């Protein structure tokens, strides 16, 4: 029993010292998840900005959708890379 208690105390000390190193990894992973989830908002935002100052609405709508789709895909790739590479930050430290 004493051996188990000593092991748990040692484990708690090691875990307590390692928590700050996980903070950056978790925040990077959470940022990646947020980027992937909020990516479709890029389309509506770009359509709004393109149609606001447009002279010919159909071209503005098509341009906003195409531009928004490009930025949405870019944000999804960036978020996915953040999620995939977040454990690599732990290895470097």
Beta-carbon contacts of 43 under 8 Å, excluding residues fewer than 6 positions away, are 64, 65, 68, 69, 72
pTM above 0.75, yes or no: no
Q: Which ranges of 1-53 would DSSP assign to H, the alpha helix? A: 2-38, 41-52
Of how many residues is the chain composed?
93
Question: For residue range 29-86, what is the model confidence (pLDDT) as tens digits?
Answer: 888 889 989 999 999 999 999 999 888 999 999 999 999 999 999 999 999 998 888 7
């Amino acid at each position: 029993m004493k051996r188990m208690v000593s092991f748990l105390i040692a484990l708690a000390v090691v875990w307590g010292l390692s928590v700050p190193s996980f903070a950056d990894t978790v925040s990077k992973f959470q940022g990646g998840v947020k980027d992937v989830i909020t990516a479709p908002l890029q389309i509506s935002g770009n359509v709004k900005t393109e149609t606001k100052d447009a002279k010919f609405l159909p071209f503005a709508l098509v341009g906003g959708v195409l531009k928004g789709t490009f930025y949405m895909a870019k944000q999804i790739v960036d978020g996915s890379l953040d999620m995939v590479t977040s454990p690599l930050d732990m290895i470097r430290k």
